[in-house]
Structure 1
Amino acid sequence: MKKNSFLMKAALALGVALGAMPVAASAQAYDPKEDYKNLDIQFYNDEQPDEGFYINAAANYVLDTVTNPTVGSTSGEWSVMDLARGGYTGFDYVNRLNASDFNARYLANLENYIGTKNGVLSTTKSTEYSRVMLALSALNKEANPVGNTGLAMVDHLNKSFNFSKKQGINGPIWELIALNTKKYEFSDTTGLGDLNTKGKMLDHILNAEVSGGGWSLFGAADPDITGMALQALAPYYNHLSAYEATGAEKPYKELVEKVERGIFKLSKLQADNGGYNAWGNVNAESTAQVIVALTELGKNPKAQHINLPTINETALFNNQTATQDGVTTGNMVDALLTFYAAGSGQAVNSGGFRHVTTGNDGGGGAGTTVNAMATDQVLYALIAYDRHKHNASTLYDMTDAQNHYDAKSYTVTYVFKNNTTTSVNYAPYAAVDLLDRAATWATDKGVTYTSTETLAMPEQNITLYEQ
C-alpha cells in the first residue's frame, strides 16, 4: 500500500484555457520500472503498468490541451490521427473522446481552412496535403474529395512530381504513406511529363539512400529520416506485386536491399539505453520514428535480433543497457517511456511527453516541459507498438479505420464483510475512486488500498475485499 494525496483528486481545475501552454515537469528521466510507484494513481496488485497506461494518459493529455483541433503540425492532424488510431484499444479516453466534439470540430475547421485557402493548402509543401490525408484516413473519411470542399487531394498530388519533391525526400515519403493508408491510387499512372506516380516517388527515395545505408535530408544517415523512409517503403517490402504495380524503375531486389540496409543502419545508430540520438541528444521523436518503422515492417521493436536475409546480416537491437539522466533502460520502448512527464495532465491518468529528459535542446522548454510534438509522436509510436503486440493492422494501414469506437468495460466487484457485493463498470485505465464504504480494500493477493486512493482500472475484471 502507498500513501496517496487525497487532495490531488480535487486539484484538477486549471482549465482548458491553459491547455496549449507548456506544462512544467521535473528535469529528469522517468523510470517506467520504478516511478509508477510514486504516481498519484495506484495499480492493481501494485504491478508495473504496461504501455496501455501511457497511451491512455497521453491521449487524455491531448484532450486536455488540444481544445480546438485545426490544420497544423501541432494541435492538428497528428493529434486527430493519434486519438483515432488508438480507438480500437477501447481505453478510457475513448469515452471522453466520444462525449466531445473533437473530431467534428476538426472536420469543420478543416473545411473552413480549405475554403480560406481557396483549395490550395501550399504551393511548396506537399506534406500539407499528406498530413491532412492521414487524419482523414484515420477518421475513415474520404480525401478525394474532402467533404463538400471540392478539393480532391489524391488528384491534386497526381498532377506534379516536381511538387512532390520540392521538399527533398520528405514530400515523396509522406505522400506514399498517406496514399497507402487507404490504398489510394492515382487516376493517371502514365507518368508522362510531370505527372506524379508512386513509382516515381519510390525511385526518388531509393536514389536518395546515403552511403552505408539509411537516409537523411543532408549528410550522414539519421534515425528520423531513415525511419520515415522505411515507413514509406514498408508496404512494398516482401510484396513484389505491389511494388511492380507502381511502375518503379528500380529493380525490386534493390528496394529489398535498401530496406534491409536501412534496418541494419538503425541497429548501428541505436544508443546503448535503447533510444535514438539526433542532433546531440537522445530524444523522444527520433526513438518514436524507429519504433513506427519497425512495426510497419512487421518487426518487434523489443527484439534483440532481426534477420536480414537479402543482405546476409543480422541487425542487433536492444542488446545493451545504459543510464541516461539517472534511468537505466535497454530497449527502445522502455527508453521512449523515460520521456513521460508525470503529473503534467489535468488528472492522475493524464500526462504528456518531453522532447528530451534534461537540458534545453529543441526549444519549447525541452527537458523541463511537455512538448506537443513529442507527445504526438510518442503516442502514435506506442499505438504502433500496441498494434504490433495484438496483431492488428499497422499504424499507417488504415483500412481498418472506423467512424466510431466504443470503450471496453470491465467490472470492479466490491465484497463486504457481510458477504454483500456491489459492482461498478469502468473502461481500461480509468481513474477509479475507490468506494469509501470501507477504510481499506484488498485484492485476492493481499495488496491493500485505502479508500482515499485512486486505482488505474486494469484490462480485466477485478474483485476487492473489505478489510
Structure 2
Amino acid sequence: MLTKRMLNRLMVMIVLLGQLVLPMQNSATAAETNKASIAVQGKEAALLKKKEIEIQEDTDALSLLQETVGSENVKTVDSDYGPMITEIKGLSQEGTFAWAFYVNGKQADVGAHKYNVHADDEILFKYESWNTASLSVFGDTDTGTILDSKKYEINEDTTALTLLKNAVGENNVALKETDYGPMIIGINGLVAEDPYYWAFYVNGKLAEGGAHTYKPQAGDQISFKYESWEQEEKDSGDEQGSQKDKDSPDEGHIVNVNQAVDNLIAYIMEKGVSSEWEAIALHHAGKKIPAGYLDSLKAKVGSSNGEFRIVTDYERMVLGVKAAGGDPTSFAGYNLIEKIYNNERMTNQGTNGVIFGLLALNSGDYNIPVSAEWDQEKLVDYLIENQLDTGGWALYGTTGDPDITAMALSAIAPYKDQEEVKTAIENAVNWLTKQQNANGGFETENGETSESTAEAIIGLTAIGKNPAGASFTKGMDSDVQAASSSSAQSENNLITNLLSFQNEDGGFAHLIGEESNDIASAKGILALVAYQNFVAGKASVYELDRVTVDDTAGDKNGQQGSGGQTQSENESKDGNRLPDTATNTCNLMAIGALLFLTGLFLFFLNRRKRA
C-alpha cells in the first residue's frame, strides 16, 4: 500500500515528466525542417549553382525561384495555363530558346506555379531550345543499337546528314558520291554490303529523299537503320492486295471507341465534371451535365466581379456555360461574349487567345456589333497571317507546335471553304502528318502525351479529315513489330494511339503508365466524342447549338455541388498530393498533457485526504 510520502513522490514525478515531454517535442519539431535544392542553368553557364533551401508545405516552385534569386529577377507573362516564365536574371526567351522547368531530372508536366515542392526535391530551371530533333542509329543483330534516341538542337541549315555527323562524329560516317548526292555506306565502321544498306527514316516512315537534303523540323524523330533490300521486297509483296481506302471512317475502330467513351463518362461522372472540355463532350454524348457545374461557374464569375486578367478565362467559360445550357450573353449578371470581342488583351497569350476566341464566338448565334474590337473575320485573318512557313502554328516564336496547330484547325474549320483558309488547312495537315511518330502520336518536350493526340483528333474531325485515315496511319517500329504476334498491330493511327492511354479506371493518363489525369481525361473524352461525331457525319464538337440533351441521365450527379469534386485529406487544392510530413508530435503532446492532468488529480486528491 502506498504511503503518503510515496504518493507525494509519485505525484511530483508525474507532473515533472508531463512538463518535460512538451518542450522536448517542441524542440524536436523545430529541428525538423524540410529542404529542397534549386538550380538555374543558362545557355552556357549556371546562373545559380545548386542550393539547398528550407521549404514550407505550400511552397510552389515559382515562389521558391523568386525567393532564391529575387522576385525582381524573374519575369512572367500570363498564359492560358497561368504565369509563364520569360526571363530569369536578365536571360529572356529568344528565338527558339525558353525556360524549361525540371523536377528530379524530369521535365515537369505542370507549371512551376502549380508544383508544390516536396522535401528533397531537386528543382532545375533550364534555358534550352524548343527547336530540337531526336536521332537514333540501329545496326545489325551483332552491333545492336549504335546510338540511343537523343535530342539535338537544330537550325535552318541543319540536314539529317549533318545531324548524324555531329552525333557520331564526322569521321564515323562513310559516304559515297552518286548522281543523287552523297550516299551513306557506313556508320561507326558498319559498312553496307549487298543486300544491306543504310535506310533513313523520318518519324517512323522511310524518307523519300536523301539525308543530305532533308532538313529536320522541330520534334522530328530521325533514325538510320541497317536493313536488307530482300526483306523489304518480301514485306512489299505481302502487302499487295491488302490496301483499302483508309480516308473514310473505319467502323472497326468505332466499337472500341464507343466502349472507351462509356468507361470514360463513368469515370468523369464519378469524380465530378470540372472542365469545359468534359461539359462539351457530355453535351454531345447526350448526357445531363450536373447542375453543380454551372453553379460553380456562376460563383467564379461573381467572386471576381466579372473581371478576369486573361482573355482565355472568358473564352473557355463561354464554352462551358454554353455546353451546360446557360446563356453566355447574360451569365451571373455579365455579358461574357462582350468581354471577348472588346478585349484589349486578345493577343497577349500568343495565338491561344485568338484560337479560343473563335471557338467561343462560333459556339452559338451571338450578335457581334460592327464596332467590336474583334470579330470572327479579324480573328481568322490573324491566324492566317501568323501561320508558319512550315504549315504549323506556334504559341509564340517560330517553332510549330502540334497542340496549337490542331487547335487552330478547330478554330478555322467553319471557314474551310474560303480559299485562303483551305490552303492554310492543307499546309497544317501536311505538317501534322510529318510530326506524327511511329506510334501514331506526337513527341513533345514531355514525351508522347495523350493530350497532343487528342487535340489532333479534335482538329482533324472538325475539318472533316479522318484521324484514322491513310495520312495519319504509321507503320510500327520494325523492332516492335517483329515482337508483335498480331499483324493488326503493325499500323498505328491517332485513334489507336489515344486509346493506348486509357487506364482500367476508365480515365486517361498524361503519359503511358501514369495514373489517370483530369486534363488528359477531359481532352480524351472530347476527342473520342469528336470521332463519334465524325463517323456519324455530324458537325464539330465546338458547334453547341445542334444537340439534344438527355435530361434523365445521371440524376444523382445533379446533386454534387460544385462539380461534384471530392478531395482527399492528402491532396492540395490543385490536385497535387501533399507530402507526408506528419510526425508523432501530437500523440506525444497528448500523452504529456494526460500525465500532467493525472499529476494534478493526485495532488488535489492528496490534499483532500489531508483535509
TM-score, shorter chain, exceeding 0.5: yes
- Is 1:285 the counterpart of 2:285? The answer is no
1:167 and 2:349 matched: yes
Match of 1:459 in 2: none
Going from structure 1 to structure 2, the CA distance change for 1:301 and 1:48 (only over 3 Å counts) comes to closer
Superposed, 1:294-333 pairs within 5 Å as 294-304=460-470, 316-322=471-477, 323=480, 329-333=491-495
Instruction: Measure how far apart 1:275 and its partner are.
Output: 1.3
What number of residue pairs does the alignment pair up?
Answer: 294
Equivalence for 1:55: 261
Q: Is the 8 A contact 2:280 2:542 kept in 1?
A: no
Counterparts in 2 of 1:48 and 1:134: CA distance versus 1, 3 Å: closer
Q: Structure 1, residues 88-114: CA drift from partner, whole Å, max 9, x if none?
A: xxxxxx4xxx5xxx5211112222221
Higher CA-based Rg: 2
Q: Is the 8 A contact 1:140 1:401 kept in 2?
A: no
CA distance in structure 2 between the aligned counterparts of 1:200 and 1:377, rounded to whole angstroms: 28
Spell out, residue by residue over 1:212-233, the C-alpha distance to the aligned partner (whole angstroms, 9 max, x if none): 1110113421210000011111
* 1:393 partnered with 2:539: yes
Q: Which residue of 2 is the match for residue 118 of structure 1? A: 305
Counterpart of 1:354 in structure 2: which amino acid?
A
Aligned to 2:521: 375
Question: CA offset at residue 52 of structure 1?
Answer: 0.7
Report how far residue 391 of structure 1 moved: 1.3
For residues 364 and 347 of structure 2, the distance between their equivalents in structure 1, rounded to whole angstroms, comes to: 22
Asked whether the equivalents of residues 138 and 398 of structure 1 are also in contact (C-alpha less than 8 Å), the reply is: yes
Does the CA contact (< 8 Å) of 1:179 and 1:185 recur in 2? no
Aligned equivalents of 1:317, 1:109: Cα separation in 2: 39
TM-score by length of 1: 0.59
2:278 to 70, 79, 101: 79
Shift of 1:328: 5.8
SS at match of 2:347: helix
TM-superposed deviation, 1:266: 0.7
Cα distance change on mapping 1:145 and 1:317 into 2, 3 Å: same
How many Å separate the matches in 1 of 2:497 and 2:263?
17
C-alpha distance in 1 between matches for 2:531 and 2:339:
33
Query: What amino acid is the match of 1:332?
Result: L
2-side partners of 1:48 and 1:150: how far apart? 42
Contact 1:55 1:383 in 2 (8 A): yes
Q: For residues 220 and 112 of structure 1, what CA distance do their matches in structure 2 show? A: 39
CA distance in structure 2 between the partners assigned to 1:298 and 1:356 by the alignment = 28
Please show how residues 74-223 of structure 1 align to structure 2 within 5 Å.
75-87=274-286, 94=287, 98=288, 103-120=290-307, 122-123=308-309, 125-146=310-331, 149-160=332-343, 162-186=344-368, 188-190=369-371, 195-217=373-395, 218-223=397-402
C-alpha distance in 2 between matches for 1:266 and 1:259: 10
Partner residue of 2:415? Answer: 236
Q: Show the counterpart of 1:266.
A: 432
| Kept after mapping to 2: 8 A contact 1:140/1:403 | no
Deviation at 1:119, TM superposition (A): 1.2
TM superposition shift of 1:329: 4.8
Kept in 2: contact 1:189–1:196 (CA 8 A): no
Q: Secondary structure at the match of 2:362?
A: helix
- Could you report, residue by residue, the CA deviation over 1:65-100 in whole angstroms, capped at 9, with x for unpaired residues? 12xx5xxxxx2322222222222xxxxxx4xxx5xx
Distance 2:258 2:415 in 1: 30
Give the match for residue 8 of structure 1.
none
Offset from partner CA, 1:384-417 (integer Å, 9 cap, x none): 001111112221111213354556xxxxxxxxxx
Q: Conserved in 2, the CA contact under 8 Å of 1:271 and 1:282? A: no
Find the aligned partners of 1:140 and 1:48 in 2 and give their Cα distance. Answer: 28
Q: What is the letter of the counterpart of residue 351 of structure 2?
A: I
Tell me, in whole angstroms, the C-alpha distance in 2 between the residues paired with 1:208 and 1:105.
39
Q: CA deviation at 1:368?
A: 2.2
Give the equivalent residue in structure 2 for 1:7.
none
Question: Which amino acid is 2:407 matched to?
Answer: M
1:138–1:401 Cα contact (<8 Å) kept: no
How many angstroms does 1:49 deviate by?
A: 4.8
| Secondary structure of residue in 2 paired with 1:395 | coil
Q: Which amino acid aligns with 2:501?
A: F
Does the aligned pair in 1 maintain the 2:406–2:459 contact within 8 Å?
yes
Structure 2: how far apart are the matches of 1:273 and 1:183? 40
Cα distance, 1:199 vs structure 2: 2.0
What is the alpha-carbon distance in structure 2 between the residues aligned to residue 368 and residue 273 of structure 1? 17
Separation (CA, whole Å) in 2 of partners of 1:381 and 1:372: 14
Q: CA 1:280–1:111 in 2, change beyond 3 Å: closer, same or farther?
A: closer
Corresponding position of 1:11: none
- Aligned-partner SS, 1:330: strand
Gaps of 5+ in 2: 1-252, 554-611
Secondary structure of the residue that 2:542 maps to in structure 1? coil
Q: Which amino acid aligns with 1:229?
A: A
Shift of 1:321: 2.6
The alpha-carbon distance between structure 1 residues 402 and 267, as it changes in their structure 2 partners (threshold 3 A), is: same
Q: Please give the residue correspondences for 1:451-466 in structure 2 after superposition, counting only pairs within 5 Å.
A: none
The 3 A distance-change label for structure 1 pair 402 and 137 is farther
Q: Give the whole-Å Cα distance in 2 for the aligned partners of 1:155 and 1:184.
A: 10
Runs ≥4 residues deviating over 4 A: 323-329
Secondary structure of the residue aligned to 1:399 is coil
Listed as ranges, the gaps of 5+ residues in structure 1 are 1-46, 70-74, 88-93, 241-252, 305-315, 345-350, 358-366, 408-467
Cα displacement (A) at 1:48: 10
Secondary structure of residue in 2 paired with 1:167: coil
Q: Report percent identity of matched pairs.
A: 29
1:335 Cα deviation (Å)?
Answer: 0.7
Q: Quote the Cα distance in structure 2 between the aligned partners of 1:143 and 1:280.
A: 35
CA distance in 1, matches of 2:501, 2:398: 27
Answer yes or no: is the 8 Å Cα contact 2:281–2:541 preserved in 1: no
**Contact 1:214 1:222 (C-alpha < 8 Å) held by counterparts:** yes
In structure 2, what is the equivalent of residue 418 of structure 1? none
